[in-house]
Chains A and B, each alone.
Chain A
Amino acid sequence: MIIIVNLGCTAAWWLARSPSSIIKGLSVWIRTNRVAGSCAVRVLFFFNLAHAHFILKMAAVQGGLVDANEEKDIKSEPANDTWANNNANDGRLPSASPGASAAAGAPEDQQTLLAVLQFLRKNKLTESVEILRREAGLPEDSLESKGADSSGAGSGGAAAAAGEDQPDVNVVLSAYSQQGDPVLYPVYYSGLKRFIETVLDCHRAELSQVFYPLFVHMYLELVYNNHESEAKAFFEKFCGDQECYYGDDLRILSSLSKREHMRGNETLLDFRTSKFVLRISRDSYQLLKRHLQERQNNQIWNIIQEHLYIDIFDGIPRSKGQIDAMSGSLAGEAKREANKAKVYYGLLKEPEIELPLDDEDEEAENEEGKPKKKKPKKDSMGSKSKKQDPNAPAQTRIPLPELKDSDKLDKIMYMKEATKKIRLGPDNLPSICFYSFLNAYQGLTAVDFTDDSSLIAGGFADSTVRVWSVTPKKLRKVKSAADLNLIDKESDDVLERIMDEKTASESKILHGHSGPVYGISFSPDRNYLLSSSEDGTIRLWSLLTFTCLVGYKGHNYPVWDTQFSPHGYYFISGGHDRVARLWATDHYQPLRMFSGHLADITCTRFHPNSNYVATGSSDRTIRLWDVLNGNCVRIFTGHKGPIHTLAFSPNGKFLASGATDGRVLLWDIGHGLMIGELKGHTDTVYSLRFSRDGEILASGSMDNTVRLWDATKAFDDLETDDFTAATGHIHLQDNSQELLLGTYMTKSTPVIHLHFTRRNLLLAAGAYNP
């Protein structure tokens, strides 16, 4: 057991030191406690191997090396079913991910193992070495000799593990060393350009996609081979041809003008390590292939072969508009397979809670007509919850915390409020109440409301978190321990008695972070508050004592966002280290790590059924992750700028996302397709929220406006068939103007948070910016 902990720490340590961790499909379930004794050895072995892989990965990344083959191996490895079954039989709750078990069931990957051993030895983890070797059944001497071999040959992971930074970058970049005459590069490129310009219209748009990745790789090749002036000339000649939405990347690229710059440049590593994905119809592809072969244009052909992934589909080529809608991300479009997995987007069954029928309040308020109305409503609600949604995940797919009495009370309150909810629609727009933060010279960076809209919390750039009560009920601390002893614990109002009346105030300040607070989230039961900060930590605050309870460390780089699961207990965080982590409040280490994004994770959001997590990133993609096994089940591309906000529709079917490009995109999770584009904002969209029934989508932006969109209409007009889903022939209507229901300007306040109360009143918040 000690070793496991040891390894866990090592992993964390490595992760901490690796800014560009590119680990795909590998998530680690670290459970240092509660390991069933019967399978201890097995688990031990598993952990060792899983960690070994993990560490290796990290090490490789650290040195800048990710071997594509190896990566593929891990991914393509069939899951070790028997093991997984065993695991399930042991009665352990969601256990190791397939990715990890795959690694465990890869005995042939001896070289990897050796590399891991070597790495461990290098870090003086002799005990771990012993155990791992024993379990893997490797003789001691073989390790010695083979390890030496592999490191000497500089092949495989061993070199990465053993080597320092210096040679590894070269390994990454080595592909660029094969080259032609630098003077000919522009000729090649313009040759291809001429060809594509003369090709039939229907193919031109598709083939034009090739330009950008080709351009980038050719430029990098030139730079790598020290043809600085040629590279500059090449860049200047052709950068104007690239699509405007690649401007940001081109700017980064333009600053790269020396081979030395390439080391440690994240953007470059992204280009190199991830293949740029293009989706091209078979006809167009054949055309391109024939052309290149006829011309014997090996230079370009090589690049296409090595750095591009061309996803060929059968069918008619897509139009320019269709392509533009989907492209724009750092690594091209998502592969079609990436969005094939089944997603259980349905909602979980609500727990059965008897609504107290004889409610005095209601009776007193209501006139005669009302009670009649109420009854059928309740029936319908009951019947709805009885029926199991076919798209919903199993109730116990993810272990969720049991409902406490107070939660049940809250649910009842919620249902009561819900009956008073205003039905919104295009003719019945919500009222908007705007909370302006005045005198926020420190800079307001994050805001959250509780679900019942009773509390509002703000995170500030001066590292503080402030909590306000927006109801007459003031914020009170719990009495001190000595005073608590004096309380009669049997009394009915014990919950009221434990509060210290002397501390009542409208707002409280929470000190603890040492950097700007970028993310903030209330727990559903309103007892906790999460905040994530530039200092790399996530803190859990108690709203009873107004003190910090836990500091979750792991990210080591700024944590841009964090959010509680709708059912509490779990939370998700994502930050500059490109890894999203799933945590449970009672574990100081993450339960899952979701890695795959090529740039900072800028926003994180839980699916309403808590089984999935969506993350938006600066690489301009959105990924949906399965909490159960850590797999990435959806990749959405189409934004042209870093994504800053996400919102799930209340029915769990749709996702809305907002980015710095000012556009709001709508996604169908089930089909994995873009289904709408809402244009109107002129600056970054920082907040999105669906109304409680999902009829209205509200968006708040840096351009000082709140806009309301007709979500019902946007989702109704859908016709999705399997063909569209398969090829990505999406038909986006340009109907933003029709869907826009209202625009509300503030005086000078960027809108950074939106929230619908349970009665469908829209709350907005932002800092007044005089």
Chain B
Amino acid sequence: MAEERRQKQCSVVLPTESMKAMAESVGVGQLHEESCVALSEEVSYRIKEIAQDALKFMHHGKRRKLTTSDIDNALKLKNVEPLYGFQSQEFIPFRFASGGGRELHFYEEREVDLSDIINTPLPRVPLDVSLKAHWLSIEGVQPSIPENPPPAPKEQQKAESTEPLKVVKPGQEEDATIQGKSQGATAADGKGKEKGLIRLKPRSTHELSVEQQLYYKEITEACVGSCEAKRAEALQSIATDPGLYQMLPRFSTFISEGVRVNVVQNNLALLIYLMRMVKALMDNPTLYLEKYLHELIPAVVTCIVSKQLCLRPDVDNHWALRDFAARLMAQSCKTFSTTTNNIQSRITKTFTKSWLDDKTQWTTRYGCIAGLAELGPDVIKTLILPRLAVEGARIKAVTEGPVVSNIDKIGADHVQSLLLKHCASVIAKIRPQPDNVEQYRTDFGYLGPMLCSHVMKARTQAALQAQQVNRTTLTITQPRPTLSVSQSGLSGSTGPRTPSIIKVPSSLTLMSPRPGTPSQPSPPATKYIVMATSAGAASTQQVITLSSSQSASPVTSTVPSASSTLQPLVKLESSSGPGLTGSRPMQKYIVVSLPSSASSSLEPKSSVLSTSFSSTPLEAGLKIEQSESPGVSTQSPH
């Protein structure tokens, strides 16, 4: 092989055609074949010579890449004028041209208009060289800090978990200890060191150093604690730190146990925190999570389909948690599903089974559908669409039938909006135009007309803004949602809405004041969850805001949620704190009504300017916060 390559090296010479082309380019018309051969050999030799010298400069420049400046320096060494001004934005700046039976690669020299250069704004000044110190090793042990590479790269973690048994020879034991020492892992002394070949499970250390224990304590406390800033920091740390490999089993157990306990206690906030931890772990590129899926997936699925996740299912927004967990589930299906573990099909089966069950509660039903819908349009098409009619009938039975229970109504309502949301876009894609309401009614039953209007809207939006097609569908290719449980100031991230893409927030709920549960770390203060699934938000992210009234949220209107029999929910919140929009005080107008009978109220009212506001024909204790921003007119419901 090497020999072959060397031979090639020996004979590489520029083709004579190149010589001809170059000669022509400088005005020498007729060049004899012999001269071409002589020239090409000479030129090839000189080029090789220069390349060798340039390599020298590369080595002394302590680089692995040869640069044009190396060539320039090599030319200078030979007393040849370097090529001035050769620079290109592209990796390979040569253009190809052919014609007259010849093929050419040439360097395109564009005419440069000086005024263009003068008028273009200056590029940003690059950052100056700076010096940063970190510990590469402390007394022979490499600390796990972001500046250092992860102690155990993902491949190694994988290798360890996928090859549980490897033949250990006595000689390798030594290597392992050396490796261990150098990697900073305190390898346990070889207990099973015996003569001969032994099948051993490679030792994995589960002892955490004092620092790691402290870190673990800090992180877990911050993750479920009351301080949102700390939590954000902790989650950031989990998502980026390269050295968490050792702690992964603990985190995994922490989450699964936490979910188990808090589901029983119906502690919604903590469940949300734990799910955010799961997300952070999944975001960390250095972790090999496969080993811990058996703990994480049940926890996540619990948060999707559990019958009850909060103390007051009628008011608390556990739907958001279900949505969020469903997205996590979809993500893990995408990343971890293999032909051997079959996660996706197993999950799909689980969801479908419980959905098909007639006795399933609305909450669980919602979770199942959300979980399935998040898995992508294909799943929606094959599993959800055929059942729309059945589901529609069931919803109809609840909403239009005799009053059964409020909780059921809310559940049915949510399921309905969820189905509309997810199915509309899929239908828009697979169903040919035109959209006929009657046709829809025959195809999809009760949900047909609503679906039809949703589909039409999806189509018009797709036509209007090609790039926003995905946004209207909200779920399928939506950017990762962030469940941000934050102070009220942050809740403004729904952003200023433009009328054109206003959509009724399908599920806006509030958590009304509730007594602090023992496990709730935050002080017993008013909690509000405001969820806006507005398509108009610039970042189309669902934002759940849990604001504590204790914090400096300036205006908080209390909602007489419990007073009304029909329980329309309206929550208005406004904070004039330094929101995301900078100087302008943030405004939020969130009006929710969940009337039991008027399903039509969910139709978009695009007339409402910059507030997602659906007026209800029914009596409603609606209060609308006055807008402080000049651009928005004050709305009054009646």
Q: Contact residues of A with B, CB < 8 Å? A: 232, 235-236, 239-240, 244, 247, 250-252, 254-258, 260-261, 265, 428-445, 456, 458, 460-461, 466, 468, 470, 507, 515-516, 518, 534, 557-558, 560, 576, 600, 602, 618, 642, 644, 660, 684, 686, 702, 706, 708, 737, 740-747, 750, 752, 762, 764, 767
Determine if B127 and A742 form an interchain contact, defined as CB atoms under 8 angstroms apart. Answer: no
Q: B59: which of A515, A534, A644, A746 is its contact (CB, 8 Å)?
A: A644
Determine if A438 and B45 form an interchain contact, defined as CB atoms under 8 angstroms apart. Answer: no
As a 0/1 sequence over residues 502 to 530 of chain B, the CB contacts with chain A under 8 angstroms (1 = contact) are 00000000000000000000000000000
> A232: which B residues are within 8 A, CB to CB?
10-11
Q: Give the CA-CA distance A741 to B7 in the complex, in Å.
A: 42
Q: Taking A252-B52, A747-B149 as contacts, is the C-beta distance between A518 and B60 under 8 angstroms?
A: yes
- Chain A's closest residue to B181 (CB) is A742
Q: Give the CA-CA distance A142 to B6 in the complex, in Å.
A: 57
> B61: which A residues are within 8 A, CB to CB?
443, 445, 461, 516, 518
Q: How far is the CB of B134 from chain A (nearest CB, A)?
A: 6
- Chain A's closest residue to B133 (CB) is A435
> B148: which A residues are within 8 A, CB to CB?
745-747
Determine if A743 and B59 form an interchain contact, defined as CB atoms under 8 angstroms apart. Answer: no
22 A-B pairs with CB atoms under 8 Å apart are: A240-B6, A254-B9, A255-B48, A260-B42, A261-B45, A433-B133, A435-B131, A436-B133, A436-B147, A438-B130, A456-B131, A460-B129, A470-B133, A516-B73, A558-B57, A558-B77, A618-B56, A642-B59, A706-B137, A741-B140, A741-B181, A747-B148
Q: Give the CA-CA distance A695 to B138 in the complex, in Å.
A: 18
Interface residues of B in 565-606 (CB under 8 A from A): none
> A445: which B residues are within 8 A, CB to CB?
60-62
> A576: which B residues are within 8 A, CB to CB?
56, 77
Determine if B137 and A436 form an interchain contact, defined as CB atoms under 8 angstroms apart. Answer: no
Q: Give the CA-CA distance A235 to B10 in the complex, in Å.
A: 8
Q: Give the CA-CA distance A400 to B98 in the complex, in Å.
A: 71
Q: Give the CA-CA distance A660 to B77 in the complex, in Å.
A: 22
Q: Give the CA-CA distance A706 to B182 in the complex, in Å.
A: 11
As a 0/1 sequence over residues 113 to 154 of chain B, the CB contacts with chain A under 8 angstroms (1 = contact) are 000000000000011111111111111101000011100000
As a 0/1 sequence over residues 38 to 53 of chain B, the CB contacts with chain A under 8 angstroms (1 = contact) are 0001101100110010
Q: A444: which of B62, B133, B135 is its contact (CB, 8 Å)?
A: B62
Q: Give the CA-CA distance A410 to B483 in the complex, in Å.
A: 60
Q: Give the CA-CA distance A439 to B181 in the complex, in Å.
A: 33
> A438: which B residues are within 8 A, CB to CB?
127, 129-132
Q: Give the CA-CA distance A190 to B64 in the complex, in Å.
A: 39
> A252: which B residues are within 8 A, CB to CB?
52
> A743: which B residues are within 8 A, CB to CB?
182
Q: Give the CA-CA distance A236 to B49 in the complex, in Å.
A: 20
- Point out which of B57, B132, B181 has the most chain A C-beta atoms below 10 A from its C-beta: B57
Kindly list 14 other residue pairs between chains A and B, CB separation below 8 angstroms, not including A432-B137, A434-B135, A558-B73. A239-B3, A258-B45, A430-B140, A432-B135, A433-B135, A433-B136, A436-B133, A516-B73, A741-B182, A742-B181, A744-B136, A744-B137, A746-B149, A752-B62
**Residue B539 at the chain A interface, CB threshold 8 Å:** no
Q: Contact residues of B with A, CB < 8 Å? A: 2-3, 6-7, 9-11, 41-42, 44-45, 48-49, 52, 56-57, 59-64, 69, 73, 77, 126-140, 142, 147-149, 175, 178, 181-182
- Chain B's closest residue to A461 (CB) is B61
Q: Give the CA-CA distance A278 to B139 in the complex, in Å.
A: 46
Q: Give the CA-CA distance A445 to B59 in the complex, in Å.
A: 10
- Chain A's closest residue to B242 (CB) is A747
Determine if A436 and B2 form an interchain contact, defined as CB atoms under 8 angstroms apart. Answer: no
- SS class, residues of chain A in contact with chain B: mixed
Q: Give the CA-CA distance A576 to B59 in the complex, in Å.
A: 13
> B63: which A residues are within 8 A, CB to CB?
443
Determine if A702 and B64 form an interchain contact, defined as CB atoms under 8 angstroms apart. Answer: yes
Determine if B132 and A432 form an interchain contact, defined as CB atoms under 8 angstroms apart. Answer: no
Q: Taking A432-B137, A518-B60 as contacts, is the C-beta distance between A470 and B10 under 8 angstroms?
A: no
Q: Give the CA-CA distance A747 to B143 in the complex, in Å.
A: 13
- Chain B's closest residue to A748 (CB) is B149
Q: Give the CA-CA distance A507 to B130 in the complex, in Å.
A: 9
Q: Give the CA-CA distance A686 to B61 in the complex, in Å.
A: 11
Q: Which 9 residue pairs of A and B lie closest in terms of their CB atoms, listed nearest first? A: A429-B140, A240-B3, A432-B136, A254-B10, A434-B136, A432-B137, A255-B48, A439-B127, A743-B182
Q: How far is the CB of A570 from chain B (nearest CB, A)?
A: 23
Q: Give the CA-CA distance A628 to B73 in the complex, in Å.
A: 35
Q: How far is the CB of B188 from chain A (nearest CB, A)?
A: 18
Q: How far is the CB of A187 from chain B (nearest CB, A)?
A: 20
- Chain A's closest residue to B151 (CB) is A745
- Chain B's closest residue to A561 (CB) is B60
Determine if B135 and A250 form an interchain contact, defined as CB atoms under 8 angstroms apart. Answer: no
> A244: which B residues are within 8 A, CB to CB?
2
Q: How far is the CB of A11 from chain B (nearest CB, A)?
A: 21
Q: Give the CA-CA distance A60 to B364 in the complex, in Å.
A: 95
Determine if A431 and B9 form an interchain contact, defined as CB atoms under 8 angstroms apart. Answer: no
Q: Give the CA-CA distance A254 to B175 in the complex, in Å.
A: 42
Q: Give the CA-CA distance A445 to B60 in the complex, in Å.
A: 7
- Point out which of B2, B61, B178 has the most chain A C-beta atoms below 10 A from its C-beta: B61
Determine if A468 and B131 form an interchain contact, defined as CB atoms under 8 angstroms apart. Answer: yes
- Chain A's closest residue to B147 (CB) is A747
Q: Give the CA-CA distance A767 to B64 in the complex, in Å.
A: 13
Q: Give the CA-CA distance A261 to B56 in the complex, in Å.
A: 20
Q: Give the CA-CA distance A152 to B45 in the complex, in Å.
A: 35
- Chain A's closest residue to B140 (CB) is A429
Q: How far is the CB of A18 from chain B (nearest CB, A)?
A: 13
> A439: which B residues are within 8 A, CB to CB?
126-130
Determine if A742 and B60 form an interchain contact, defined as CB atoms under 8 angstroms apart. Answer: no
- Chain B's closest residue to A445 (CB) is B61
Q: Give the CA-CA distance A435 to B142 in the complex, in Å.
A: 15
- Chain B's closest residue to A599 (CB) is B56
Q: How far is the CB of A576 from chain B (nearest CB, A)?
A: 7
> A436: which B residues are within 8 A, CB to CB?
131-134, 147
> B147: which A residues are within 8 A, CB to CB?
434, 436, 747
Q: How far is the CB of B520 from chain A (nearest CB, A)?
A: 41
Q: Give the CA-CA distance A235 to B6 in the complex, in Å.
A: 10
- Chain B's closest residue to A519 (CB) is B60
> B178: which A residues are within 8 A, CB to CB?
737, 740
Determine if B6 and A257 form an interchain contact, defined as CB atoms under 8 angstroms apart. Answer: no
Determine if B129 and A437 form an interchain contact, defined as CB atoms under 8 angstroms apart. Answer: yes
Determine if B56 and A600 form an interchain contact, defined as CB atoms under 8 angstroms apart. Answer: yes
- Chain B's closest residue to A737 (CB) is B178
Q: How far is the CB of B5 from chain A (nearest CB, A)?
A: 10
Q: Taking A439-B126, A440-B129 as contacts, is the C-beta distance between A750 and B62 under 8 angstroms?
A: yes
> B11: which A residues are within 8 A, CB to CB?
232
Determine if B129 and A458 form an interchain contact, defined as CB atoms under 8 angstroms apart. Answer: yes
Determine if B137 and A429 form an interchain contact, defined as CB atoms under 8 angstroms apart. Answer: yes
Q: Give the CA-CA distance A443 to B6 in the complex, in Å.
A: 32
Determine if B131 and A684 form an interchain contact, defined as CB atoms under 8 angstroms apart. Answer: no
Q: A470: which of B7, B9, B131 is its contact (CB, 8 Å)?
A: B131
Determine if B62 and A686 form an interchain contact, defined as CB atoms under 8 angstroms apart. Answer: yes
Determine if B181 and A431 form an interchain contact, defined as CB atoms under 8 angstroms apart. Answer: no
> A251: which B residues are within 8 A, CB to CB?
6, 9, 52
Q: Give the CA-CA distance A236 to B2 in the complex, in Å.
A: 12
> B3: which A residues are within 8 A, CB to CB?
239-240
Q: Taking A434-B134, A441-B126, A740-B178 as contacts, is the C-beta distance between A236 and B139 under 8 angstroms?
A: no
- Chain A's closest residue to B73 (CB) is A534
Q: Give the CA-CA distance A264 to B50 in the complex, in Å.
A: 13
Determine if B140 and A746 form an interchain contact, defined as CB atoms under 8 angstroms apart. Answer: no
Q: How far is the CB of A508 from chain B (nearest CB, A)?
A: 12
Determine if A744 and B62 form an interchain contact, defined as CB atoms under 8 angstroms apart. Answer: no
Determine if A437 and B131 form an interchain contact, defined as CB atoms under 8 angstroms apart. Answer: yes
> A254: which B residues are within 8 A, CB to CB?
6, 9-10
> A456: which B residues are within 8 A, CB to CB?
131
Q: Give the CA-CA distance A606 to B52 in the complex, in Å.
A: 29
Q: Give the CA-CA distance A430 to B142 in the complex, in Å.
A: 11
Q: Taking A433-B133, A440-B129 as contacts, is the C-beta distance between A250 and B6 under 8 angstroms?
A: yes
- Chain B's closest residue to A742 (CB) is B182
Q: Give the CA-CA distance A244 to B6 in the complex, in Å.
A: 11
